[in-house]
Amino acid sequence: MSSPFGAGGHDWFIKCYPNGVPGGAGNHMSLFLMHDSHAKTGDATAAYKMSILDKALKPSCTKFEHERHFRGDGWGWTEFMGLQDLDRDKYLVEDCLSILCDVITADGLRAAAEQPPPPPPFDLRGLQLVEAIWNRETADVTIHLGDGETIAAHRWVLEARSPVLKADLALASNNATADHLRLLVNDMDADVYKSLLRFIYTDSQPPELETASPKNVERPLYAADRFQLEKLKLLCVEGLCKKIDASSVAAALALAERHGCPTLREACWQFLVKNTPTHEQPISTNVF
């Protein structure tokens, strides 16, 4: 039994049977989410998932559950993971097993479905800034990419759009001996950075977002996260949320975890819990 934890205004704990529930086959570990505050908070409706973590604390075996109604009892899986798959060397640290549990109550599920509005656009109407990106005569910043290519840019635009670039330029200014600044970017391809700059200057959607597959969106999402471009990040997330299906949900969920996108994460979760077969059964607290 885990220690109690709070989620959605209710208290919960995890009940684990390392060798399966009493009277079961005994060849699977059983896991259940128990509602621990019914006397204080009343009934709860929640969706949840559980993951077995390896020694590096990375999720390995993960299962999702539809919304369930808790009345002081528990829901879960009698056959969460086969004992033959529970490798001690992979999962146990000092004979302890780490389990990650995410719980979202009904209010949280409704809130997650409501995506926040995008920030207002950066108004550059009337300025020929697309052409200015490539105009080395007026640019006062040179960006050196890892593949050797250089791109000209304008400090005031970069600073107005990205707090990360503003900090990088301030640091470069402290170390510079001339008015023209030099930035080094080693972790991004030239085509991605050019697409990023085009968005910075014009607010135009990168072409990779037209299909919104995780493979195509991965690089602009990384760039948006890297330089704290929240509108671009929202565009990436919005496109991915609209295209979630069985072939893309795993990759989309990985992107959500990697880049801290709770809206995308919950959209993936809701898709999975609605489309994943389960073999759960309710367990009453009087079993324990």
Q: Give the per-residue pLDDT at 135.
A: 56
- In the block, which residue shows the tokens 């299962």? 63
Q: What share of the chain is helix, strand, coil (3-state, %, to 5)?
A: 40, 25, 35
CA angle 200-113-115, nearest 5°? 20
Can you tell me the distance from the alpha carbon of 34 to that of 248, in angstroms, rounded to the nearest whole number?
31
Q: What is the pLDDT of residues 161-216, one digit of tens each?
A: 899 999 988 888 887 666 788 888 888 888 888 888 888 888 888 877 777 678 88
Q: Give the per-residue pLDDT at 283.
A: 41
Given a cut of 90, whether residue 251 has pLDDT beyond it is no
Which top CATH class is 5-111?
mainly beta
Dihedral sign, CA of 255, 271, 49, 109? positive
Can you tell me the distance from the alpha carbon of 248 to that of 253, in angstroms, rounded to the nearest whole number?
9
Q: How far is CA 246 from CA 212, 249, 262, 268, in A?
A: 15, 6, 19, 10
Q: Give the per-residue pLDDT at 277.
A: 55
Strand-pair category, 74-82 with 92-93 = unpaired
Given a cut of 90, whether residue 14 has pLDDT beyond it is yes
Q: The domain at 129-270 falls in which architecture?
A: 2-Layer Sandwich (3.30)
**Domain locations in the chain as residue ranges:** 5-111, 129-270
Q: What is the pLDDT of residues 111-162, one digit of tens each?
A: 444 454 544 444 444 445 555 555 555 678 888 887 788 888 888 889 888 9
Can you tell me the distance from the alpha carbon of 251 to that of 249, in angstroms, rounded to the nearest whole number?
6
Can you tell me the distance from the alpha carbon of 71 to that of 286, in angstroms, rounded to the nearest whole number?
12
**Tokens coding 182:** 């030099």
Q: Give the per-residue pLDDT at 233.
A: 92
> What's the predicted TM-score (pTM) here?
0.54
